[in-house]
Amino acid sequence: MNKILVIDDEEHMCWALERGLRQEGYQVLTATRGKEGLELIRKETPSLVILDLKMPEMDGLEVLVRAKDLLPKLPVIMITAHGTIDTAIEAMKLGATDYITKPFDLDELKLVVKQALMVSQLQEEVTFLRSELSKKYGRIIGNSQAIQDVCTLVEKVADSNATVLITGESGTGKEVTALSIHQLSSRRDKPFVPINCAALPESLLESELFGHEKGAFTGAVARKLGRFELANHGTLFLDEITEMPLSMQVKLLRVLQEKQFERVGGTESIKVDVRVIAATNRDPIECIRKGTFREDLYYRLNVLPIHLPPLRERTEDIPLLVMHFLQKFNPSQEQLISPEAMGLLTSYHWPGNIRELQNVIERAVILSQGQEIKPHHLPKEIQKTDTGKGEAGQGLIINFPDEGISFEEVEKELIIKALEKSNGNQTRAAQLLGITRSALLYRAQKYQIKL
C-alpha cells in the first residue's frame, strides 16, 4: 500500500485530503508544520508527499529541499495559490514532481497523485532492471595490458553512433563489452536490446528483428514490434552475426544504410535511431572467403573493431576474475581459495574462457560448502594441469640462453615454428598456437613475420 504524507498548516485541508485519499486505498499521514513533516519523512519513508507552499516557520521550498536531501527520489506535489505560480515553478526546478493550484478539485488531485506514483514506480523498475542487466552480464575485469587496451578502446568508441564489431572466442566477454559500450554512451538511459542471430531460424529471425503485422503469416494474430523498434534511441546487440543467413544479411545491410525498414507483411517504412553493436566468435574474413558472410556487411559493421583476447593470453587477470566470481556466488562470507588451487587455475588453458572459469568457480563454491577451495574441488581436467613446477613444464625451451630471453622473442619463434609446421597455412598455424587467425595475423605484423 502506498503511503502518502500531507504537509499543510491548515488542519481542515489535512483532514479533507486524508479522507479523500484513504477512499482511494492509500495510507495517509498528516503534518501541520514543516519540521514535523520532515521527521515523518525520516521515520516513515512515504511513497509521495503533498506539500503546501506557504507555511509558517518553515515554508514549502525549504521543506522540499530538505526532503530531497533525505530521499532524493521522493515525488513531491506542491499546493499553491494562483498568485504564487512563479514560486511553484521554482519548486519544480528544485525537484518537485508537479504542482496544483488552489482552489482545486479533489478528483484532479487524485489523478495527479496517481500519475506521480506511477512514474515513480516505473523509475524504480527501470533502475532495478538496469541493475539486473549489469548483474547478468557483469563488467570488464582485469589489469593486464591486453584488457586495459580493450577498456581504453571501449571508452573511446562509446559515445560514437558508428557500428562496432566485437570479435573473440566464445566466453571472452563480448556481451559484457557491448553492454559497457552502451552504459558509457549517451544512450545509457535508453534500451539495450540483445538478440542471438544463431538461436533462431531465418523466418523467425526476420520477425524478431523487424516485427510483423497482424495476419502476415500463420500465427501472426497481432502486430508485433521487432528488436529494431524496441531499441529505438538505444543499442541493438547482434550476437553471432556471422551465423545470420545470407538473405537476412542483405536486409540488415539495407537497414544499416537507410535507417528504416518495413515490418513483415507491412508496407509502412519505419525510421529508427539505433546504435548497432555486432559480435562473432568466428573469423569474419574466413567466413567471407567461405561465402557465408557478406563482405559489404562486414565493412559496414567493422567501422570500430574490438578484439577480445582469450583468457589464456591474459592469465594475470585470472586471480582477479576468481575473486570476483567468489564474491558473486558466495556474497554472504569471505570465500578462501588455496594457493595450490589458484596455481592450477592460472596454469589451465581455459578453452571456454571466462564463461568456463565462472562455471568452475560456481561449482567449487558449492562443493567446498563455504570452506577453503582446494584442488579436489576443481574439475578433473584442471587437477591434471601442469603448473610448470615439474620437469614436464620445462620441455618447450630446451636451451635457455645465459643472457636470458624475452617473451616477445619466444612468441615470435613459436609463430615461425607453427607456420613451418603448417606449411604456411595460417588457419592451421593459429590452431596449433591456440589463438584465432586474426590474432595470428596481428602478431605476425607486430613481429614483421612474412606470411
Which pLDDT score is estimated for 349?
92
Handedness of CA 262, 268, 269, 270 (dihedral sign): negative
SS3 373: strand
Residue 220 makes CB contacts below 8 A (sequence gap 6+) with 212, 213, 214, 264, 265
C-alpha 297/C-alpha 201 separation (Å) is: 20
What are the pLDDT tens digits along the chain (451 aa)? 789 999 999 999 999 999 999 999 999 999 999 999 999 999 999 999 999 988 888 989 999 999 999 999 899 999 887 656 677 778 888 899 998 888 888 998 999 999 999 888 777 766 555 555 554 545 788 888 989 999 999 999 999 999 999 999 999 999 999 999 999 999 988 899 999 999 988 889 999 999 999 888 888 888 888 999 999 999 999 999 999 999 999 999 999 999 999 999 998 899 999 999 999 999 999 999 999 999 999 999 999 999 999 999 998 999 999 998 998 898 888 888 998 999 999 989 999 999 999 999 999 999 998 889 999 999 999 998 766 544 433 444 445 566 666 767 777 888 888 888 888 888 878 777 777 777 788 788 888 888 8
**Residue 75 CB neighbours (<10 A):** 24
For residues 55 and 99, give the distance between their C-alpha atoms in angstroms, rounded to a whole number: 16
Query: Following CA atoms 215, 217, 218, 220 in sequence, which dihedral angle do they give, to the nearest 10 degrees?
Result: -50
Whether 357 and 325 have beta carbons less than 8 Å apart is answered as: yes
* Residue 67, C-alpha cell as written in the block: 526532503
Q: Residue 38, exposed/middle/buried by CB under 10 A (0-12, 13-18, 19+)?
A: buried
Residue 71 to residues 43, 51, 68, 93, 370, Cα–Cα distance (Å): 12, 15, 5, 16, 37
Task: Determine contact, residues 66/95, Cβ cutoff 8 Å.
Answer: no
Domains of the chain: 3-129 (3.40.50.2300), 138-309 (3.40.50.300), 312-391 (1.10.8.60), 404-446 (1.10.10.60)
Which ranges of 7-84 would DSSP assign to H, the alpha helix? 11-22, 34-44, 60-70
| Apex 236 CA angle, 173 and 180, nearest 5 | 40
